């Protein structure tokens, strides 16, 4: 069978997509295994939470620095530098048993994730055409989500506080180098890095900024501190892996129905009802602690179902008030606020768990969503929604440059929006 030009192009991206999967398996697995290892080594809850916050600090630095490094040395060399940084951070774990040293190593892993995704997305943006963009982005989203699911499951087979476990994750990080550096695709020209204007998000939609911060509060605290909750309610390592997987799977299943609702109804109401459902799912999760393993897993899936789509809905609402020329910088501004919230969320959650028990994690998330409900209702009184809106787009939280890949999708004319009464 003869392949068409667009199909050949998508297949040529297989090297990039394979790098994404290997990166996800490596970087996605280090958070949970650090929690289990830190507990086994006697780290306090606050020290374990600090590791999660350090990861997002490195992620923030990487998002800002990666486009500039890529402009200086090119795509392949920048990718090699970031993967080497991540591998060093992983391998050094069992050489120095100290929570603050581990925090520096987690900064390296966060830097690796942001830098590598920036390179991959810049490469994709330079090679896709209008005809192949939709299919390429569809495959990219599926690959990213599949890698994330696999990363949670791998935790169940890695022994905590073991050099072998961190060595396996480092091998995955190093292996991500091979597909991209050996690909025959010509290295593209380096795009100009987007200006980082956090205030732009506020001027377009204060509610969207609140939404992405609450999304960070939910996802960052759960993915980085959730294993502590799992241990406290009696789950073993394999069960914690499925607990985290249920969260990601619930978020993946939510994308289509929530996207349909966000395109059909006022997005502020969708955010408000999602936050209300998130508060309910937090209550269900706290009550499920004594119902057995199945109940805990189902509650984690429900939590992911209600919290995971909030970032994309908030981003879509912000882009309703932006021009096409602002989309790349607005996406970067929203990622800035997400990363800022994600830096603080794991540490705060761990302190609350240390002082008030495991249920405090979901109590904190509930308070955040309650605040979003109140703020959303207040914003509905401030101005009407847009009559014409951008289509809902599932927005991966990967780099400041993701907006370039999504701009064409957002520029497509969306369905007419209902007017506020």
**Given this model, what pLDDT does residue 1 score?**
46
Coil vs helix vs strand at 373: helix
pLDDT score for 192: 62
- Per-residue pLDDT, averaged over 80-107, amounts to 93
Run of H or E including 26: helix 14-40
Give per-residue pLDDT as tens, 142-182: 888 888 888 888 888 888 888 999 999 999 999 988 887 77
Instruction: Answer for the pair 57, 343: CB distance below 8 angstroms, yes or no.
Output: yes
Convert the pLDDT of each residue in 236-288 to its tens digit: 888 998 999 999 898 888 888 888 888 888 888 999 999 999 999 999 988 88
Rounded to an integer, the average pLDDT of 62-86 is 85
* Portion of the chain with pLDDT greater than 90, in percent: 34
Query: With bands split at pLDDT 50, 70 and 90, how would you rate the model's confidence at 386?
Result: low
Q: What is the mean pLDDT of the chain?
A: 84
Which pLDDT score, from 0 to 100, does residue 418 have? 42
Asked if residue 119 has pLDDT above 80, the reply is yes
Q: Please give the pLDDT value at position 312.
A: 87
Q: Encode pLDDT of 233-248 as tens digits.
A: 888 888 998 999 999 8
pLDDT at 419 over 70: no
Which DSSP category does 1 fall into? -
DSSP tag of 322: S
Report how far apart, in Å, the C-alpha atoms of 413 and of each of 169, 271, 309, 385, 419 are: 43, 21, 21, 16, 17
Mean pLDDT for the stretch of residues 214-220? 91
Q: What is the pLDDT of residue 149?
A: 85
Residue 13 pLDDT: 76
Look at residue 410 in the predicted model and tell me its pLDDT: 64
Q: Identify the pLDDT of residue 368.
A: 94
Please give the pLDDT value at position 84: 92
Tens of pLDDT, residues 329-345: 888 888 889 989 999 99
pLDDT band, very low/low/confident/very high, at 421 (cuts 50, 70, 90): very low
Q: CA-CA distance, 337 to 349, in Å (whole number)? A: 18
**What is the pLDDT confidence band of residue 420, given thresholds at 50, 70 and 90?**
very low
What six digits make up the tokens of 71? 């402009």
If DSSP codes are grouped into helix, strand and coil, which group holds residue 416?
strand
Q: SS3 of 203, please?
A: helix
Q: Is the confidence at residue 305, as pLDDT, over 60? A: yes
Q: How many CA atoms lie within 13 A of 223 on its CB side?
A: 30
Considering Cα of 22, then 27, then 32, then 36, what sign does the dihedral take? positive
Would you state the pLDDT for residue 135? 73
What is the mean predicted confidence (pLDDT) over 58-84? 85
Q: Between these two residues, 19 and 126, which has the higher pLDDT value?
A: 19
In the chain, % of residues over pLDDT 70: 87
Mean of pLDDT values over 344-348: 93
Calculate mean pLDDT across residues 373-386: 80
Of residues 289 and 384, the one with the higher pLDDT is 289
Distance between CA atoms of 22 and 115, rounded to whole angstroms? 14
Distances (CA, A) of 264 to 29, 269, 344, 416, 419: 37, 11, 34, 8, 12
Mean pLDDT throughout 395-399? 74
CA 360 to chain centroid = 22
- pLDDT over 50 at 209, yes or no: yes
pLDDT in the model for residue 156: 83
Q: DSSP letter for 289, please.
A: G
Q: What is the mean pLDDT of residues 279-302?
A: 88
Q: pLDDT: is 102 or 261 the higher one?
A: 102
**Verdict on whether the full-model pTM lies above 0.85:** yes
């Amino acid at each position: 069978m003869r392949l068409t030009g667009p199909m050949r192009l998508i297949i040529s991206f297989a090297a990039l997509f394979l790098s994404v999967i290997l990166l996800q398996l490596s970087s996605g697995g280090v958070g949970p295994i650090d929690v289990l290892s830190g507990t086994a080594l006697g780290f306090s809850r606050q020290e374990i939470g600090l590791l999660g916050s350090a990861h997002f600090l490195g992620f923030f630095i990487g998002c800002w620095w990666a486009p500039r490094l890529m402009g200086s040395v090119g795509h392949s060399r920048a990718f090699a530098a970031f993967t080497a940084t991540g591998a060093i951070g992983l391998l050094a774990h069992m050489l120095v048993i100290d929570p603050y040293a581990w925090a520096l190593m987690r900064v390296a892993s966060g830097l690796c994730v942001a830098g590598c995704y920036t390179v991959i997305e810049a490469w994709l943006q330079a090679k896709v055409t209008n005809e192949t963009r939709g299919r390429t982005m569809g495959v990219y989203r599926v690959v990213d989500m599949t890698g994330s699911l696999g990363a949670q499951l791998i935790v169940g087979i890695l022994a905590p506080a073991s050099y072998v476990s961190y060595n396996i994750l480092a091998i995955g990080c190093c292996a991500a180098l091979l597909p991209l550096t050996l690909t025959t695709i010509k290295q593209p020209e380096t795009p100009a890095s987007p200006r980082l204007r956090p205030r732009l998000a506020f001027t377009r939609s204060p509610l969207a900024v609140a939404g992405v911060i609450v999304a960070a509060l939910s996802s960052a605290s759960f993915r980085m501190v959730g294993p502590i909750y799992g241990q406290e309610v009696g789950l073993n390592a394999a069960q914690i892996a499925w607990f985290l997987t249920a969260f990601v799977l619930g978020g993946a299943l939510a994308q289509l129905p929530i996207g349909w609702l966000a395109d059909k109804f006022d997005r502020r109401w969708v955010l408000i009802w999602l936050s209300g459902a998130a508060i309910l799912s937090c209550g269900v999760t706290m009550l499920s602690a004594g119902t057995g393993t199945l109940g805990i897993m189902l509650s984690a899936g429900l939590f992911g179902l209600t919290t995971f789509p909030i970032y994309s809905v908030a981003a879509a609402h912000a882009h309703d008030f932006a021009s096409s020329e602002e989309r790349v910088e607005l996406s970067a501004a929203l990622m800035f606020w997400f990363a800022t919230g994600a830096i603080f969320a794991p540490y705060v959650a761990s302190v609350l768990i240390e002082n008030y028990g495991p249920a405090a994690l979901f109590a904190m998330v509930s308070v955040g969503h309650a605040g979003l409900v109140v703020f959303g209702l207040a914003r509905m009184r401030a101005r009407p929604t847009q009559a014409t809106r951008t289509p809902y787009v599932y927005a991966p939280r990967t780099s400041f440059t993701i907006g370039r890949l999504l701009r064409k999708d957002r520029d497509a004319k969306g369905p007419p929006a209902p007017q506020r009464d």
